[in-house]
Chains A and B, each alone.
Chain A
Amino acid sequence: MELFFEHFITKGGYKVALEGLLATAEIAVFGLIIGILLGTVIAIVRVMPKYKVLPRVLDVICNIYVALFRGTPMVVQLLVGYYVLLPAIGLRLDGVVVAVIIFGLNSAAYVSEMMRSGIQSVDIGQLEAARALGMPYAMAMMKIVIPQSIKNILPTLGNEFIVLVKDTSIVSFIAVVDITKAFRQIGDATYEYVIPYLFLALVYLVLVAGIAALVKLMERRLKKSERQ
């Protein structure tokens, strides 16, 4: 115990841990943002009316995309992205950037499914009323349907964020120092793993509890706004 705290506080282990925490937060937050934006686009493509050729082609592309990213583990996606695709196109990117991109792409596949069910849960009359007033499909979706569906799926989006935060523990595969890696380094330095790993678990628990509380707060806010 003393060994851990000695290393953690006096020898500057907390600095590494904080940097790791920052990397974890960056990957999870930006990953979620990319996931929501891209996921919404995919979801809209998938619920679009399909009379014309273009929506049908887009739909096939989106289906393949979702199948690809849901069908392979995130670790594999990270490894393929970092060690195969990037060298293949001769690009060098920071590990954190790669992680953000892969997390975003992966999360988009899941968010698109949530968003699709969210969109379908909004009464069709809302879209019809907007279209009847002369709004084009995209405008009606952005102004009326999507805001309502986001509210419907906020709890599941919160879950997705929690999953993302926890999944960041695998980014050390591509040489990113996240919070997990930081505590492993402390363990490596002291040959004492029990306390660092328990402490690490506690950090994740606190993070997740914080997010859960935040989501609940947002939910209540949004509910209130409709019942003034």
Chain B
Amino acid sequence: MNDNNILSVRGLKKSFGKLEVLKGVDIDIKKGEKIAIIGPSGCGKSTFLRCINCMEDPSGGSIFFNDVDLADQRVDINIHREQIGMVFQQFNLFNNKTIIENIMLAPVSLTLKKIKKAKRKNFFTKVGNIFRKNKKELIKITQTKAEIVENARANAEKLLKRIGLEDKADVYPSTLSGGQKQRVAIVRALAMNPQVILFDEPTSALDPEMVGEVLDLIKEVANEGMTMLIVTHEMGFAREVANRVLFMDSGIIAEQGTPAEIFDNPQNPRTIQFLKAVL
């Protein structure tokens, strides 16, 4: 497999009952690419995005993320999901956590869980070492719990400062506007230092005047070199940010190319029809 490809999707299929939503999607995505996915509603673009991190279990095909097939049931999907951020249409901030807790929760609890696991493994290695001639090496645990929490908090504060919401650190999500919620959701994904971020219609649930602030943040993240896939209805945004646009129709990628190719000179009649309707 090509080393440059961070994601390679092969023959991806997904059915809900009898309804076949994805009918075999193939695509290679290089590190740092920004992919916009457009298409009529019901064409499977959100399903495609949700299959990439197995929020929907694929019915067939493979998803190679750094050469590991995520569609394989034996793969521990949780480890790889840490590397694949996701931003939802409905924000999905944790309602029972404050804003800063929302950002810190996953980094802290997942690191603590790993340490706990390492300690357990070390214990058995130590017991085993009593009987071994060649002593096995222990897993090094470098951080204490307090340090982990402190680092996560510092990082979360930095991220909040970046989106200008440091004064909202200790309030609950219900007090935030939609745009603020979505920006927090984006930095929550960033806090895991993912290699890819999936955006599932990030601005579709927002009031019109809040779309701009969210798109600006996404652009910023894009300019820092993050690999991203964005399902969107904002054609202007797709043209501006994406370096490749996928047009999906009835479960397949009907056409793909640079924004200029897709928006200015579409070839597929369905693309032409769709763009005529939305532009």
Contact = CB atoms under 8 A, between A and B. Distances in A.
Interface of A: 51, 123, 125-126, 128-136, 139, 143-144, 147-148, 151, 225-228
A133 B82 contact: yes
B174 A227 contact: yes
A226 B53 contact: no
Contact of B94 (A126, A131, A139, A228): A126
Contacts of A135: 78, 106, 109-110
Contact of B78 (A123, A129, A136, A227): A136
Contacts of B185: 129
**A-B pairs with the 4 shortest C-beta distances?**
A134-B82, A129-B92, A133-B106, A125-B92
Contact of A226 (B82, B95, B192): B95
11 contacts: A128-B88, A131-B78, A132-B84, A133-B81, A133-B86, A134-B81, A134-B192, A136-B78, A143-B105, A143-B109, A151-B96
A129 B93 contact: yes
Given A126-B94, A128-B92, A148-B96, A133 B192 contact: yes
Contact of A148 (B95, B170, B192): B95
A133 B107 CA distance: 9
A51 B97 CA distance: 30
Interface residues of B, number: 33
Interface string B59-97: 000000000000000000011111011101010111111
Contacts of B86: 129, 132-133
Nearest to B174: A226
A130 B109 CA distance: 11
B92 A225 contact: no
Contacts of B53: 132
Contact of A126 (B78, B81, B95, B110): B95
A134 B96 contact: no
Contacts of B57: 51
A143 B79 CA distance: 18
Contacts of B95: 126, 148, 226
B106 A130 contact: yes
B94 A129 contact: yes
Nearest to A225: B172
Nearest to B86: A132
A134 B189 CA distance: 11
A132 B81 contact: yes
B88 A129 contact: yes
Interface in B82-129: 82, 84-86, 88, 90, 92-97, 105-106, 109-110, 113
B96 A133 contact: no
Contacts of A51: 57
A228 B175 CA distance: 8
B260 interface: no
Contacts of A125: 88, 90, 92
**Residue from the set B53, B78, B96 with the largest chain A CB neighbour count within 10 Å:** B96
Contacts of B109: 135, 139, 143
A126 B82 CA distance: 16
A144 B192 CA distance: 18
B141 interface: no
Contacts of A139: 109, 113
B198 to A, nearest CB: 8
B55 interface: yes
Given A131-B81, A134-B106, 16 more contacts: A51-B57, A125-B88, A125-B92, A128-B55, A128-B88, A128-B92, A129-B92, A130-B94, A132-B81, A132-B86, A133-B85, A133-B86, A133-B189, A135-B109, A139-B109, A226-B95
**Residue from the set B78, B79, B110, B170 with the largest chain A CB neighbour count within 10 Å:** B78
B172 A228 contact: yes
